[in-house]
Amino acid sequence: MARDYDKEYAASRRPDRRADNVMRKRARRKMIKKHGAAAVKGKEVDHKNMNPQNNSFSNLTIMSRTANRKKQPKRK
């Protein structure tokens, strides 16, 4: 079964998805500033409530990529 990459690319360009991506990058920079680059290197910044718009320190944690992927809800 062939994948429609044009469709996926177009979906990633929607304004709401772009805004979420900007906030994820902002959260990562915020954690680097607080904990240092060495603490975040090779890890991901997780939003506890799954809302990338909420970048409060109480909502952010640093975890491994595998742990963060396991935490995410299943997609269809």
Q: pLDDT tens digits for 4-19?
A: 788 878 877 888 889 9
pLDDT band of residue 55 (cuts 50, 70, 90) is: very high
Is residue 50 within 8 A of residue 67, CB to CB? The reply is no
Domain residue ranges in the chain: 5-71
Q: DSSP letter for 14, please.
A: S
pTM (2 d.p.)? 0.78
Is residue 2 over pLDDT 80?
A: no
Task: With residue 62 as reference, give the H or E element that holds it.
Answer: strand 60-63
The pLDDT tens digits for 23-41 are: 999 999 999 999 999 999 9
The per-residue pLDDT for 42 is 95
Tokens 């290197």 belong to residue? 41
